[in-house]
Chain A
């Protein structure tokens, strides 16, 4: 299951969707909105995406993960729009026969998502200013 949503992510359903009798391990990763970043306080994050390409890139991530690890089931959901502190921005669930595979595949998926999927976040700092997060820029 690969999707983008503007609603709160049902990570319980996502986790259930990857459970299988072929899997001995299920790993769930949640990306959440953190309050403090290098001494500055976030009030909210705005997420924007290029939907068609983002979904295509997430599908590619799934294909790559499946080629490298014995993935039984996998799900990635990324939320867009305005998120408050603690909200879940992204959920990744993956099941594999063994835990080392599940942990590795899960880490790969979030690490690669963060560098390749066309989604951007904008900080809303507590001083009223906003700032796009553009790594390296």
Chain B
């Protein structure tokens, strides 16, 4: 299982600031997005623009994730 932190509208749609999803080490961010959508269909609408961070760094679709990584998903930012 992989814990995924969610923020802003992602958190609101999933109903939780952290979710657990089935995971196989070595899979990448693009897989994360599809598993997240399967497990939490309401997140589907955010997927085109969803940002993923792994260990506090933005990650592209090819980034590999394993169980030790801290993973967060969120919509485009709007600070300031």
State the A residues within 8 Å of B (CB). Answer: 31, 47-50, 52-54, 56-57, 78, 89-90, 110, 113-122, 132-137
Q: Whole-angstrom distance from the CB of A46 to the nearest CB of chain B?
A: 10
Contact B77–A52 (Cβ < 8 Å) = no
Q: For the complex, what is the distance from the CA of A76 to the CA of B76, rounded to whole Å?
A: 21
Complex CA distance for A50 and B54, rounded to whole angstroms: 12
Picked from A31, A89, A115, the residue with its CB within 8 Å of the CB of B77 is: A115
Query: B65 interface residue, CB < 8 Å from A?
Result: no
B44 to chain A, nearest CB (A): 13
Chain B residue numbers with a CB within 8 Å of A120 are 7-9, 74-75, 77-79
Chain B 24-80 residues near chain A, CB threshold 8 A: 46, 49, 53, 56, 72, 74-80
- Flag if A134 contacts B80 (CB, 8 Å): no
Which residues of chain B are near A115, meaning CB under 8 Å? 77
Q: Which of A119, A121, A137 contacts B46 (CB 8 A)?
A: A137
Among residues of A, the one whose C-beta sits closest to the C-beta of B6 is A50
Q: Are B74 and A121 in contact (CB under 8 A)?
A: no
List 17 A–B pairs whose Cβ atoms lie within 8 Å, in order of A's numbering.
Answer: A53-B53, A54-B79, A89-B79, A115-B77, A116-B77, A118-B77, A119-B77, A120-B74, A120-B79, A121-B78, A132-B8, A132-B9, A132-B75, A134-B75, A134-B76, A135-B78, A137-B46
Query: B16 on the interface (CB 8 Å rule)?
Result: no
The answer to whether B75 and A50 have CB atoms under 8 Å apart is no
Instruction: Kindly list chain A residues whose C-beta atoms are within 8 Å of the C-beta of B46.
Output: 137
- Contact in complex: A50, B79 (CB < 8 Å): no
How long is the Cα–Cα vector from A56 to B11 in the complex, in angstroms? 21
